[in-house]
Amino acid sequence: MKAKNIIFLFAGCLFSQVCLAQTELKSDLKAFRPAESNQPGKLFPQVNDEGKVRVSLYAPQAAKVQLDLGGKKYEMTKNEEGLWTGESAPQDEGFHYYQLNVDGASIPDPNSRYFYGAGRLGSGIEVPAYDEAFYALQKVPHGMVSENIYYSNLTQTWRRCFIYTPASYYENKNSRFPVLYLQHGSFEDETGWVNQGKANLILDNLIAQNKAKPMIIVTDNGYALKPEATEAPEKGQGISIFEDVLIKEVIPMIDKRFRTLADREHKAIAGLSMGANQTMRIVMKNPDKFAYYGGFSGTSNYPNTDVIDPDVFMEGKFKSGTELNKKLKLLWLGLGTKEPAPFPKSVGAFRAMLDKQGVRYTYYESPKTAHEWLTWRRSLQNFAPLLFR
């Protein structure tokens, strides 16, 4: 019994020391505060008004711990209780993926909520933005996001999409709604636009302010391969059939299960980065399906082509820019002012081609953001109000 009491006493002392260390770090909360993206009740990670990120990890046996954020690694230091802390340089406003590197192994931060991005489930942090109110959870009528699981005969796999239905969808059972098909980028999936992009909150706020028409949003997984590619990769690796899955399976399913306005004048399609490339090709090949298009940080020449053949862009469906203008009600492009290469160059080349062909388009730049979710949130905020007018 004495030995057991000593063990409990030692454990209690150790726990109190760790708690004391955490309390000492709390004193900095005037400068640093818990991030909105933390797991419930977690003090760390923290951000301050400069955009610096502070993280903490209890790992008494680790020899080296680093914060891996924004393409850089920041050394963390350990106190006597085994609690590691570290800070980053100032980060851009918005959402960022990050990892912790413990003795050479990259792991998610146990204090952060997990997000699927960069091809894995990992940590993410929100650095507050000056205009964050447009994607914040506000006291307005909220729509519903539902998970829809379906079997794809084309891929011979189970797949899923997420559907946002606005609050007014449930007020009048006879009402019908336009649909926006919204795609994620490379190494992300169908969860991105809700979890990282906050698309549902953006639309809730826009609709409540009468800035956007109530609409349904569908986000599907842009990775869809021929069955041979999954069963025998050497025979069909990389053969995407996402266009067929969307056109032949997803859209008919959505029109059947939800109260949609099924004509082309009430269908829009948009995507970010890889998703911009996919959706642009889809809209040009299927002008009878969509009347509105949005490309966020991407075009049909993604990731980079200096010379763009307008005939290839128009997929043989249109003879001129004038003809395209008559069919497509909106061609919208968005880009961050800090986007890395090759995106400014490729989007610039694409815009030059559109100008030469006389194709009407709307162009938007997100101030001081790169190839990241705040760019795409702002793009959606500016794109959605122009739809279905």
- The answer to whether residue 15 scores a pLDDT higher than 70 is no
Cis geometry, peptide bond prior to residue 45 (ω within 30 degrees of 0): yes
pLDDT at 293 over 60: yes
Mean pLDDT of the chain: 90
Section 274-279 average pLDDT: 96
pLDDT > 90? residue 302: no
pLDDT at 294: 98
Which of the four pLDDT bands, split at 50, 70 and 90, describes residue 300? confident
At 128 the pLDDT is 95
> What is the dihedral sign for C-alpha 227, 230, 232, 237?
positive
Q: Where in the chain is the domain with CATH 2.60.40.10?
A: 29-128
CATH-assigned architecture of domain 29-128: Sandwich (2.60)
pLDDT bracket for residue 228 (50, 70, 90):
confident
**Structure-token pair, residue 367:** 């101030």
Q: For residue 309, what pLDDT is reported?
A: 83
CATH for the 133-386 domain, from 3.50.50.60, 3.40.50.1820, 3.40.1160.10, 3.40.718.10: 3.40.50.1820
At residue 312, the pLDDT reads 83
For 46-79, write each residue's pLDDT tens digit: 999 999 999 999 999 999 999 999 999 999 999 9
Three-state secondary structure call for residue 277: helix
Bond prior to 90 in cis (omega within 30° of 0)? no
CB atoms within 10 A of CB 333: 24
- pLDDT above 80: residue 194: yes
- Residue-wise pLDDT for 318-343, tens only, equals 999 999 999 999 999 999 999 999 99
Q: What CA–CA distance (Å, rounded) separates 356 from 350?
A: 10
Q: What stretch(es) of the chain map to CATH 3.40.50.1820?
A: 133-386
